[in-house]
Amino acid sequence: MSSRRLMQGNEACAEGAIKAGVQFFAGYPITPSTEIAELLARKLPLQGGKFIQMEDEIASMAAVIGASLAGTKSLTATSGPGFSLKQENLGFAIMTEVPCVIVNVQRLGPSTGGPTLTSQGDVLQARWGTHGEHAIIALCPASVEETYYLTIMAFNFSERFRTPVILLLDETIGHLRESVQLSNYDHIKLISRPSPWETPDKFLPYAAEADAPPPMAAFGEGYRHHVTGLVHDETGFPCAGNHAAIDKLLRRLNNKIFAHQDEITLYKEMMTEDAEHLLIAFGASARSAASAVKIARKEGIKAGLLQLQTLWPFPEKLVRQKTLGKRSVLVPEMNLGQYAREVKKVVSDRTIVVTLSQIDGRLFHPNKIVAYFRGEEKHAEVL
């Protein structure tokens, strides 16, 4: 049987999660992510998994954390206001090192905004939505096939580093239908969280090297351990008066991700080697950027595209390398320059950084990007 299928982006997300070994989903219906829940409601029980529709997004995130602590690969999906509600428990999962995947199919905001309109307005919320000094991994697909692939990678990163991982789709990708060759990704080795190597009597639940996650014992396996969102030492119990232990914990939570940034950074590029003008784009905007590069090349404009699949942690080394020697760097995104300002911090004064924004709920049109190269676009802003 052929593994090529016509799929919707949200469907590819559900299939990718199943491929990655998800066994638990908790969520609440919200446009434009609901298809993910609908598909998993049908498919998870058929393979021994569990689906729960919770009373709200706060409870959904809590249920996912609980299922993961019990040893199960777990997922939730939401959009806009629901993603906002998940932030407190997202911070809890970061502090307690609970692997799980949170899908946010972005829609136009703020507030209820435009539930059926596309946007990329949650880029900075994905990075800083929960409070405190923390690291986060956020992946962003630009096609249906990439959604399938990056869902699998989201679970792998989550299990590998014992951390929540955010998959940032936008409405365009979530509801897009494309042909996908699923077998292209059969080679990906699936990762599961590290298990304890100590006997239960010697087990310290949060003992780990400075840039590594600790092994994880599931509830019910005989390993007694305490889980708290408070700062804690290697035993798992609060350590508010032990400032050395606090410093060690928080540095390790960040270092276990930042020290492995090369492994986490996923990207594609198009005609970047001889490009004078570099587009840096992600999600649906990257599709428009790719078309704009082709049009620009036909007009003799040497444009190239760096498509980022990993948004966070910010791929500083990659961006610095690829922007070297470029006349300009253009960041088209469906917000008011959230990611462009991150690019500017890295590029500094070496290269002109231009943000090209669209916030009316429509997908970026390639002609808007090409118009900038022609000097015709009035809404481009030099940072």
Interval 142-153: pLDDT, tens: 999 999 999 999
Residue 341 has pLDDT above 90, yes or no: yes
Residue 55 has pLDDT above 90, yes or no: yes
pLDDT band at 2 (very low <50, low <70, confident <90, very high): low
Q: Which residue would you say has higher pLDDT here, 379 or 328? A: 328
CB of 9 closer than 8 Å to CB of 147 = yes
Residue 1 has pLDDT above 60, yes or no: no
> Span 115-124, mean pLDDT?
97
Please tell me what DSSP assigns to residue 193: P
pLDDT score recorded for residue 349: 81
Ramachandran sector of residue 243 (left: φ over 0; alpha: ψ -120 to 50; beta: rest):
alpha
| Joined tokens for residue 261 | 């940034």
pLDDT score recorded for residue 381: 75
pLDDT score recorded for residue 16: 98
- Residue range 4-185 forms a domain whose CATH class is alpha beta
Give residue for tokens 């492994």: 263
Q: What angle do CA 223, 97, 76 make, to 5 degrees?
A: 110
Q: Which stretches of the chain are DSSP H helices?
A: 9-20, 34-43, 57-69, 80-85, 87-96, 123-128, 144-161, 171-175, 243-258, 261-264, 283-298, 316-323, 338-347, 366-373
How far apart (Å, rounded) are the C-alpha atoms in residues 328 and 191? 40
> Span 120-135, mean pLDDT?
97
pLDDT score recorded for residue 348: 82
CB of 376 closer than 8 Å to CB of 298 = no
Locate the domains of the chain by residue range.
Answer: 4-185, 267-382
pLDDT band at 125 (very low <50, low <70, confident <90, very high): very high
Is-same-fold flag (4-185; 267-382)? yes
The DSSP bridge partners found for residue 310 are 139
* pTM assigned to the model: 0.96
How many helices (H) and strands (E) would you count in the chain?
14, 16
Mean pLDDT of all residues belonging to the chain: 95
How far apart (Å, rounded) are the C-alpha atoms in residues 147 and 341? 26
**Residues near 107 by Cβ (< 8 Å), separated by ≥ 6?**
31, 32, 79, 80, 113, 114, 115, 116, 117, 118, 119, 171
Residue 376 has pLDDT above 90, yes or no: no
The DSSP bridge partners found for residue 77 are 103
| Joined tokens for residue 183 | 């077998």
Residue 382 has pLDDT above 70, yes or no: yes
The DSSP bridge partners found for residue 137 are 165
pLDDT score recorded for residue 374: 86
> Span 77-105, mean pLDDT?
98
Q: Write out the DSSP string of 96-111.
A: HT--EEEEEEEEE-ST
Spatial CA neighbour of 334 closest among 379, 370, 283, 291: 283
Compute the half-sphere exposure of residue 320: CA atoms within 13 Å on the CB side of its CA. 7
- Residue range 267-382 forms a domain whose CATH class is alpha beta
In this structure, of 5-14, 188-197, 367-376, the range with the lowest mean pLDDT score is 367-376
> Span 44-71, mean pLDDT?
97
pLDDT score recorded for residue 336: 96
pLDDT band at 350 (very low <50, low <70, confident <90, very high): confident
C-alpha torsion sign, points 254, 260, 261, 264:
negative
pLDDT band at 379 (very low <50, low <70, confident <90, very high): low
Q: Which residue would you say has higher pLDDT here, 120 or 350? A: 120
In this structure, of 75-79, 82-86, 156-160, 195-199, the range with the lowest mean pLDDT score is 195-199
pLDDT score recorded for residue 139: 98
